[in-house]
Chains A and B, each alone.
Chain A
Amino acid sequence: MPPKISRPWLVALAIVAIALPLIPYRFEVSAYVVQMFMQAVTYAIAVLGLVVVLGYTGQINLAQAAFFGLGAYGVALGTVTGGWSFWLSLAAGAAVATGAGLALGLTTIRLGGHYLAMITISFQQILDLVLVNWIEVTRGPDGVAGIPRPSLAGFELADDRAYLVFCAAVLYVVVFAVWWLPHTRLGRAMRSVRENELAAEVVGVHTLRTKVVAFSLSALLGAIGGGLYAGGFAYISPDNFNFARSVEFLTAVLLGGAQSPFGGVIGTLLIVQMPEWLKHLPESLRFIKDVYLAVYGIGVILIMVFLPEGIWGLIKAARARLARPADTTDTSGVAPLDFDVPGAAGGPVLRVKALSKHFGGLKAVDGIDIEVARGSVHALIGPNGSGKTTSLNVVSGIYRPTAGQVMLGEEDVSLLRPHQRAGRGMGRTFQNIRLFSTLSALENVMVGAQRDRNPIGRGNRALRARAMSALAFVGLADRAHVIVRNLPYGHQRLVEIARVLAGHPRLLLLDEPAAGLNQTEKMEFVDLLRRLRGHGLTIFLIDHDMGLVEKVSDRITVLNFGRKIAEGSPQEVLRNPDVIAAYLGTAGKVN
C-alpha cells in the first residue's frame, strides 16, 4: 500500500488540483498565461517519465525531448498530413516513441551508466537531424502548422480553457499512476535496481527487463506530453525538441526532486515560470535573462551538491520532522515462516562438477567438485585468495564458469543468469551487506519475496505477509518500517537473510555471514543457523571464523590456490595436515 496521506491533506490537494485549471473560466486570465500553463502541464507529463526512469530506476535519459518530439510529430503529421483523427495520431506517435524507447533500451541498457547517457544523447541528435533534413516528411525546419485539437465525448476542446482542463486531467491521472507505481511489484523492482543492481539481480529481479520497461514507460510519457503539446500550440518545429529541451526537462526533474511525481511537477512549473520572472529583474540584472541557460547549468551543479533530492526532498524532510512516525510496527497476526519448497526430492541440492573460473592467466578456481547434501550445512573455507568468493560468484551466477557445471537439484543452471537461479530457489547474501538502503526493511524483504515462481500468491498482500513472516523469523518484525540504512549493522545482516528467506530458498548461500559481527551477535547468528537447519534448509557458506564454522557445519570443503585440498567432517578437516599447512604456512607443501 502506498503511504497514507492524512485526509485533510488529501482533500486540500484535490480541491486545489481541481480548482486550478478552472480559474480561467471564473476570472479574466490572458491567453498568454493560459498558454504558459498549457506548456507547463504538457512538459510535466514528459518530466514524470524522467521520474520513472531516473528517479525510481536510476537510469539516465538525455533524450526525453526526442520522445516528446516523436509524440508531437505523431499528432502533427497524423492530423495535418495524414488526415487522421487526433486520437489515432496520438496513439501512433506514442507507439513509435515507445517502440524507439524499447529498441534503444534492449540494445544498450544492459551496458548502463555512461553508455546510456551517450546513446540517449546520440539518439537525440540523430532525431534532430532527421526532423530538420527529411523535409518531404517532416517539412524540415519550417515545422508543421495548423494542428487541430480533438473533441472528447462530444465536447469540443478547441477553446484554450477547455483544452487546458483536459491536459490537466491527463496530468493528474499520470501523477496518480506514477505516485502509485513505487508500491507495486514493478516499482519495487525499479527501486531495487536503483539502490543496488547486483543485489537486485541476485535476489531474483529481472534487472534488464525492469530497466527496459522503465525506459519505455518514460518514452511513452514523453510522447503523450509531446502529443498534447502539439495540439495545444497548433504549430511545432524541430527546435522545440532539441537537446537543450532535454536538458530543461532534466533540470526540472532534478530541481523538483526526481523521486516523487510531485517533485517533477513542482520542478516543471518553476522551470517554465523562470524566464517570466527573469523579465521582471531590475535593468542592471536584465542580462541574466539572456543567459538563463547558463543559470540552469550552475543550478544543476548546485542542486547536485546541495539538494540531491530536490525541493520535494526538503518538503519531505520537513514533514518527517513534524510528524515522527512510530518506529515500531504492529506485529499481531504475523504467520510463522514456512520453509516448504514444493517438488523438492531427495539427492544433493547443489552439485558443482569440475568447476573452473579463470581470469586471463589467473586460475582463481581450478576444477573443483563439491556436493551439498540436502538439509546439511556445508562450509567452504580456505586462506585469502583461495577462490572461495569466486566459487560462490560462479555458483550464484554472477560469473560464468570457464569450465564445469553447476547443478541445482537435477537441473543444470551453469548458464542461467542470477535472477533465473533465484527463480529456481537459490538465494544468497553478500560479504559486504548489499541492501536497498533507502527502502524500508519490509520493502527489502518484499523484493526477495517477489522472485519468479515463489510459491505464494501474487498480490501485494501475500508478498507483505510473507515478508513479515520472514522478518519475524529473524526477530525484526517490529522494525519492519524502518529505512534499512538507519538500522544497526547486525540488524542489516539479519534483514539480508530475511530477504532471502522470503523467497523460499531450496539452497541458501551465505558469503561470510558473520563478518563484522561482535561476539554476542555471533552467538545469536549461530543460533539462527541452527534454527534454519532445524527447518530442513540446505546451507552453503563461506566464513573465516573457524570457531563458527566448526560449530555449525556438517561438512567442510577446504580450498587453496583454487583447488580442493580437503573435505570431510569438521573434526577430520581441521586436523588435516595439509589444511593446517595451508592456513599456517608451515613446511608441508601442497602440490
Chain B
Amino acid sequence: MPRDPLPSFGTPRAPDSDPERKPSVEALTNNLQVIFQGLALGSIYALVALGFVLIIRATNVVNFAQGDFAMLGGYAMVLFFSALGWPYALALVAALVVMAIFGVLFNYGVYYPLRHRSFLPVLISTLGASIFLQNTVLAVFGPQPRPLEKTLPVDGINVGGVFLDSQYLVILAVTLLLVLGTYLFFEKTLLGKKLQATSQDKDMARLLGIPVALMISITFIYSAVLGGIAGVLVGPILFVSIGMGSIIALKAFAATIIGGFGDVTGAIVGGLLLGVIESLAAYHISVPYKDAYAFLALFLFLLVRPQGIFGEKVSEKA
C-alpha cells in the first residue's frame, strides 16, 4: 500500500537531567513539561473535534475526512509558503481560501447527493473521500513528509525549567481565540443563530425561510477552515504528511465521544484531556504505544460513561 505508517508525533522530549537538582523537583518540571505539550497537542485535537461537532450538528453525520482537512491545510501551506515562497501571512490567507472553497466542493461532492439517505452511506462516502484525498495528495507531493516553518520566528522561552516552545504557545493562543470566536459567532450573530436553527430542525428552519442548503455549505466551509488552521499550526511540530490527518481525526473523534457526542464544550475539553492523557502515558509508560492510549481512554469511557462528560442520555423517539 502506498501509505505512510501513521506518524507518532509530539513525543515528549525527555528534558536533560540536571544532576544538581533534586529528583522530586526534576520529576515535577518534567511532568509540567509533558502536560504543557499535551495541552498543545490537545488543542489541535480540540480544533479538529470542533469541526467534527459542527458538521455532526448540521448534518447528523460524522465526517471521516475531517482529519484530511488538516492534512490539506498543511499541504496548501507547504505549497504557497515553502514551494512558492509567498510571505507567511499571504500564504496563510491563500491556504484558508483554498480550504473554504474545498469545504463547498466537499459538501456538494460527498454529502449533498446522499443527504436524504441514512447515516451509513454518508459515513462511507466521507471515508471514500478521505482515501481519495490522501492518495491524490500522495500522487502530487510524494510520500516524503514536508517540513513547515514555525509561525513565529523564535524558538521559545524557558520558565522555571519548563521549555515553552513558541509553536506550542501559538497553538494554545489560536485555539483559545477560535473557540471564543466560535462561541460569539454562534451565540451573538444572526447567521450563527440561523446555523443553530438549521442544526436543530431542518424542516422548521426551512419553513422559517432559512436557506438550509446554504447554511450547511457554510458549516462545511467553517469546518474545513478550522481543519486547515489545525494543519497549518501542527505542521511545524510533526511535519506535513499524508497520514497526519487520519491519526488526528481519530483522536479528535475520540475526544468528541469522551466530551459528549455532538457537544461543543465537550469536544474542546475532551480534546485537551486526551492530549494530556496520552502525553503523560507516553512519558511514564511507553512511547511506541503512544497512539493506543487515546483509544484505551475511549474504551474506558464507553464502558463507564458512554454519553461522555457533558452528554445526556437520549433515547430514540417512537
Contacts and interface: CB of A to CB of B under 8 A. Distances in A.
B315 A300 contact: no
Tier of interface size on chain B = 35 or more
Interface in A223-282: 239, 242-245, 247, 250, 254
Contacts of B122: 304
Of B246, B253, B288, B318, most A-chain CB atoms within 10 Å = B318
A294 B296 CA distance: 31
Contact of A299 (B123, B128, B261): B128
A291 B125 contact: no
B23 interface: no
Contacts of B121: 304, 308
Contacts of B125: 300-301, 304-305
Contact of A398 (B1, B117, B291, B316): B316
Interface stretch (A111-119, A155-163, A561-569): A111-119
Nearest to A129: B292
A329 interface: no
Given A244-B3, A299-B128, A300-B128, A305 B114 contact: yes
Interface string B1-44: 11101100000000000000000000000000000000000000
B129 interface: yes
A247 B65 CA distance: 14
Given A114-B123, A305-B113, A293 B131 contact: yes
B95 to A, nearest CB: 22
A58 B120 contact: yes
Contacts of A398: 315-316, 318
Nearest to B124: A304
B119 A122 contact: no
A291 B131 contact: no
A304 B128 contact: yes
Contact of B64 (A117, A119, A393): A117
A61 to B, nearest CB: 12
Of A58, A107, A114, A511, most B-chain CB atoms within 10 Å = A114
B123 A297 contact: no
Interface stretch (B192-200, B214-222, B297-305): B297-305
B306 interface: yes
Given A60-B123, A107-B302, A242-B1, A297 B128 contact: yes
Interface stretch (B134-142, B157-165, B169-177): B134-142
Contact of A115 (B131, B139, B257, B303): B257
Contacts, number: 144
A339 interface: no
B302 A125 contact: no
B119 A114 contact: yes
A399 B318 CA distance: 10
Contact of A430 (B64, B130, B136, B318): B318
A180 interface: no
Nearest to B295: A122
Nearest to A306: B113
A107 B306 CA distance: 10
Interface in B271-304: 288-289, 291-292, 295-296, 298-299, 302-303
Given A239-B1, A304-B125, A133 B139 contact: no
Contacts of A300: 124-125, 127-128, 131
B290 to A, nearest CB: 9
Contact of B131 (A117, A294, A308): A294
B123 to A, nearest CB: 6
Interface string B86-112: 000000000000000000000001100
B254 interface: yes
A239 B127 CA distance: 20
A316 to B, nearest CB: 18
Given A291-B138, A398-B318, A125 B127 contact: no
A62 B292 CA distance: 17
B315 A301 contact: no
A590 interface: no
Interface residues of A, number: 55
B126 to A, nearest CB: 9
B233 interface: no
Contact of A294 (B62, B132, B254, B317): B132
A12 to B, nearest CB: 33
Given A108-B302, A118-B254, A129 B124 contact: no
B123 A129 contact: no
Interface string A154-197: 00000000000000000000000000000000000000000000
A77 to B, nearest CB: 20
B250 interface: yes
B6 A125 contact: yes
A244 B1 contact: yes
Contact of A297 (B132, B257, B318): B132
B302 A111 contact: yes
Nearest to B5: A132
Interface string A95-131: 0000000000001100101110111011101100110
Contact of B136 (A62, A291, A304, A393): A291
A296 interface: yes
B288 A129 contact: yes
Interface of B: 1-3, 5-6, 62, 64, 109-110, 113-114, 117, 119-125, 127-136, 138-139, 246-247, 250, 253-254, 257, 261, 288-289, 291-292, 295-296, 298-299, 302-303, 306, 315-318
10 contacts: A119-B302, A125-B250, A129-B291, A244-B1, A254-B124, A293-B3, A293-B135, A300-B125, A304-B121, A399-B315
List 4 tightest A-B contacts by C-beta distance, closest first. A297-B132, A300-B128, A297-B131, A294-B135
Given A198-B318, A242-B1, A293-B135, 12 more contacts: A107-B303, A113-B120, A115-B261, A239-B1, A293-B3, A296-B131, A300-B131, A301-B125, A304-B121, A308-B121, A398-B316, A511-B318
